[in-house]
Structure 1
Amino acid sequence: MRLKPFLSMSCLLLAVLILAGMVGTGGESRAQGAYTDDRFPHLFAPRDQRPRIISIPQRTRPAARAPAAAEPVRPTRREPPAATSATADAEVPRPPPTTFVLVLGDNLAEWLAHGIEEAFEDVPELGVKDRTRLGSGLARPDTYDWPAEIRRILSEDRQVSFIVMMVGAHDRHPIRNGEEVAEFGSDRWRELYGQRVEAAMQAMKARGVPVYWVGSPPLRGQRISADMVRLNEIYKERAQKLSIPFIDVWNGFVDERGNYTQFGPDFAGQTRRLRTSDGVHFTAPGARKLALFLEQELRRDLVGRIEPASPADPAPGLPVPEAAVPGLLPQGIAPVAPRPLAGPVLPLAGNPSIPRPEDRAVPDGAQAPPPGRLAGDSAAPVRSGLAETVLVRGAPPPVVPGRADDFRWPRASATATPAGSTGETARNPP
C-alpha cells in the first residue's frame, strides 16, 4: 500500500522533468531560429526566397585588330645598294654576268627566277633574265601565245645560255580549237594541250641551248592538286619525247601523307613557311627551295659552258688593274710568260737499269735532251748482307744447325761421329 504513493510521486517527478526539458529545447530552438545554413542557399532556402544574383563585371572589349598586310604575290626585286662616299672606294663592284638563264612561265615561274638568283649568288658570271607573264598559260593562246612569244624573245635576245619554263597554275580552262570546245580533263583536252606543250618545247629547243621544264607544285585543295598531277603527266610525257629534262618538284612541298603543306624544311633543312596563305604562291624560303631542284641540273651543265669575266674587256665604270691587262704594264717591267699547263715528266727515283738522259747515246744531227735530274735520280747503291738478302730479295735466311727452323733430315749431328764414340752410338743417337 505504501508503494503506490511512491510510484505516483516518481511519475509526477518524471513528467515535470520531461516538461522542463521540452520547455528548454523549445527556448533554445527559438533562440537559434535566426541561424540559417547558407552553404546550400538554393537547397534549403524557402520557396519565396529568390536566389542571389551575382553580377560579374564585363570586360572591356579589345580594340579591333589592324588588318594584316596582304602577302606579296610577286617576289621583291633586289636592287644594288647605293654606295655612299665613305664606302664607294672600299667596295669592289661585281663584274657583269656573261652567262644568262632565261626564265619563262607564269606567276610561279617568277618565284623560280627569284630562287635561282639566290641560289647562284656565289657565281657572279651567271645572270637571270625574268621574262615571265602573270596569269599566262598554254590553254588560252588568245590571251598570251607562249610558242609565238618564245620565238620572238629568242630572236631579240642573243645572250641566252639556258632556258627554263614553268607553267600550269592558270591552265585549268577549256581549250577552244576553232568551233570545238574541249572541257578541261577530257581526252580531247589532253591531246590539244599536249600539242601546245610540245610546240613550246620545240620553240625553245630551236635555240640550241639546254632547256629545262619545271613541273607544277601542289596547290591547296585536293581537287586542284589532282589537276596539277594530270598536267605534270603531260609535261613529263612530252619532255621525254623531245629529250628535255623534266624537273619534278612535287615531293618538296607535301607532307608525309603526300598532301599540300604550307610549312616544311627549307633548302638547309630548317622548318620554315614555304607557301603563302593563298595556297598558290611561294615565300622567299619556298622560292629558294623551288630553285634547289633545278640548281643541281644547272651546276652540272655549267661546267664548260660558263664564260669567265675577261679583264681585257671590262665593263664601263669598273676599275681596271694595270698589271692584269696586256699592254698596260708600267715601263721597265717585262711581261711574265704564261705558265704551262704541265711540266716535264721526270722519274721520282733512280733506276740503275735505265740510263740517264746525259748517258744515252745521241745520234748524229739530233739534239740531246735537256738533263733533268731530281734528287733521287742517281745510281742505286749496291747493298749486300743478310738484310739485303731477306728484306730486299726475299730469300730465306741461312739455316743454322740445331736451330728450330733447321728442317734438314737426317740431322747434321747424326751424320758426324764424334771422336771416341762407337758406330752403334752414331747410328742411334740419343
Structure 2
Amino acid sequence: MRASDLFYETFSAIHANRGRSLLTVLGIVIGIAAVISMTALIDGVKASLVGELGLDQSRTVMITCYVGRDLTSDDVDALEEGLSDQYDFITGTAYASGDATNGVATASLSIQGVEPEYFQATGVKASAGRLVSEGEASVGARVIVLDRQSADQLWPQGPDAALGQTLRLGNDDFTVVGVTEASLSGGTSYVPLKTAEARLTGSSAITHVVGFAREGEDMDSIAATTEAYLRRYFNVPDDAVTDGTSSSQYYISVMTMASILQQLDSTMAAFQLLMGAVAGVSLVVGGIGIMNMMLTNVTERIREIGLRKALGARRSDITLQFLLESVMLCLIGGVIGILLGYGSASVLAAVASSSSMMDGMQVTPVITPTAVVLATGICVGIGVLFGFYPAWRASRLDPVESLRYQ
C-alpha cells in the first residue's frame, strides 16, 4: 500500500468517527496538557528564581566564617591575596539595619555596606538610577541604593521619584542614588562599606565575604581550596568540626552559586517527576481508551478487512493501517494537549505572579523544544503500545470468515 493511500485511509477513518475520536483522546489531551503545563511552569519558576537570586552568577562564592573573633577588611585583603590565582576579586560586606524617614513616611531598612565589586558578583541591578560608584566607596560618601519595597513605602509615586532625594538614617542624611529591582526576599538596601563602618555599625567587622572566581575555574575545587586556606589562615585544627553543630567551635561555610543551582535543579526535577507520575496515570487511561476504540473499529470493519485481504492486502498492510490510525489519534490528542498545556501554564503563571507569596517576582512559562519532543514521543509510544494488539488482531482475521461476517 502506498504511503499516500495509507494516510488517506487513516484520516478518512478518523474523520468518519470524529466525535468518538475526540472523546477517546480526551485522556491523552489531559495527560499531555498536565505534562506541558507543569514543565513550563516549573521551568518558568526556575528561570525567575535564577534571575531573582542571582544564580546566573555561577562564578560567585559566598563565604561565612566565625572563628572566635570578627573578620576585618585586612582579613579579606589577605584572603584575596592568598587566592589571587583563583579569584578575580574577593570583597567583604557589613550588615546594618535601621529606620529611615524622608520626613513624611518611614521604612525599616535592611542594609549592607558593600564595595562596587559586590554588585558584579551577585548580579544586583538598579531599576532606577545607579549603584554605588568607586569614588563614593573610596571616600565613604553618604549615598544609598534603596531596595524597591522600601522605595515604594517612602515614595509611592515610583522609584524615579526617590532619585536625588534625602532621607534620614541614624544620625545622618543620605542621598538616594538608585533603586534596585524588586526582590522576592524582601530586599536589601546598599551603602558604601566605609560609610556603613563609620556611620551605621560603628565597627570594622565584616559579616560576610563574597568572591568572584576567575572564568573557567572549577567551582568545587575553588570551594575546597578556599575552606582549606581559611583553616590555615585562622589556625583551625585539622580535626576541628566547622559545620556549625553543637560540637564545633568554629564555623566555616564556602558555598558556590553553582552548587545552589544544582540543588535547585534537583528540587525542580523532583517536582517534575511527581507531576509526570500524576500525568502518567491520565496517559495510561487515555491509552486504554485508544485500545478500546481501535478494538471497536476492528469489529465494525471486519468485512472491510476481509475485502482488502481478498484483493491482495498483506497482513503487514492491515497492521500498519490500524497502527497508524492509533498513532494519529494520539498525536492529535498531543497537539491539543500541548496548546491547552501552554494556555494553562500561562494562566497559572499569572496567578502565581499576582499572589502575595511571589511579590516582586514575575513568572513566565517556558516551553522548551525538549518538552515538545518528549510529549510527541510519548504520544507516538502510547499509540504504538496500545494500538498494536488491535492492529495485530485485525491482521490475523480470516478473509473468508470476515466476508461472511454480518
Place the TM-score, normalised by the shorter chain, in its bin: under 0.3
What TM-score comes out, normalization by structure 1 length? 0.18
More strand by share: 2
TM-score, normalised by the number of residues in structure 2: 0.19
Looking at both structures, which has the greater relative contact order when contacts are Cα pairs under 8 Å and sequence separation is at least 6?
2
Higher share of residues assigned helix: 2
